[in-house]
Amino acid sequence: MRARSVASEAARNLATGTTRAAALALAFAAVVGALAYADVRAAVDVLRGAAEYRASGSSVQVLEVPQGIDGARCHALGEATGVVAAGALRQGDPVRALAMPSARVTVWEATPGLVDLLADVGGDVAATTGGHRAAGVWYSRDLAETLGARPGRDTATTTGTAVTAGVYSWPDDGRARTLGYAALAPVAPMGVFDQCWVQVWPADVDTAAVVYLAMDPAKADQATVSRLNAAYGATYDAPGLLARRPTALAPVAAAIVGLVLGYLAVRTRRLELAAALHARVPKPHLAWQQALEAAAWVAAGLAIAATAVAYAARTGNPDPSDWAFLLGARTLAAGAATTVLGTLAGVATTRERHLFRYFKNR
């Protein structure tokens, strides 16, 4: 048989339904696709947990030493390996807004790095063109709603007019309420402060210890260190959770399923194949024909399953979906490859001399 004849025979089997391609494609998509989907969702759950942990402020270490934090050193910690952002904080003079003159507004003076940190754990921190933070005062969302403050709008106070640079969220999720109802006034990282905030990600206890470099050693006995939010635990081991996820062996399971599915797809046609062998069709040509047929219905199953995996990788994923999709694609590829191998194994174990037995047991 020529290659063209092998291909045309495979095409006829697919067109006439002899291959049962539709049923096999759906079976592949249902089983192998389900394994890939489950693995991707398990990985996305870990990524979402990491994002929630980070957004909650649990990865932020707060070193408090009254009048014992060097602002420049704290600001410089933002350049350390593993540190996302660092900033110093001290309490400023309270002011009264003309919108509510009977109440004093708590004001905190903060270095620029702390505003960057708020963008990560508070969110909704506005920025100007080019990514530079706008100049002016930052308000917590609750306080901004009370004052009617909006980015770019001036707020009249008893000490003058304050430009609103932006608004940050500070949810009540267990984090310290330090900035929950306050105004933040950015200042240069110079002089003495009371607190140094350092965000370390991935969360690492050893890296977090760099926060001690910001304090005056003479005041070490007054130092206290705490996490900004202690409600979510000391660390979040995302790599470990990914390695230990229940679906980590999904590619192995998919490989086994594919092998069995490909083998059974051929064994259900063993009488047809034995008859072809009896008609002097070379077994290598028969193997190529079955491989082409298998490739066709596997490709159809892959298209269905890949759509589901893409949806699973994108939905609820705080990170770009590429990595999660490739994780699922690995499972699909394992299932597809072994399906073709199972098909070839099914052809290899079909014997012409068993033709009568196959006919009898049909």
Residue 154 neighbours by CB under 8 Å, 6+ apart? 161, 162, 163, 164
Position of tokens 């077994």?
Answer: 283
Tell me how far apart the alpha carbons of residues 343 and 288 are, in angstroms, rounded to a whole number: 10
The per-residue pLDDT for range 205-234, each reduced to its tens digit, is 778 889 999 999 988 889 999 999 988 887
Tell me how far apart the alpha carbons of residues 271 and 269 are, in angstroms, rounded to a whole number: 6
Question: Which pLDDT score is estimated for 120?
Answer: 80
Collapsing DSSP states into helix, strand and coil, what is residue 137? strand
Question: Which pLDDT score is estimated for 354?
Answer: 47
Residue 184 neighbours by CB under 8 Å, 6+ apart? 107, 108, 109, 110, 114, 115, 118, 137, 138, 139, 168
Residue ranges of the domains in the chain? 3-52+241-360, 58-231
pTM of the shown model: 0.81
Collapsing DSSP states into helix, strand and coil, what is residue 26? helix
Report residues of the chain scoring pLDDT below 70: 1-6, 9-10, 17, 19, 102, 122-134, 270-281, 351-362
Q: At what angle do helices 250-267 and 270-278 cross, to 10 degrees?
A: 60
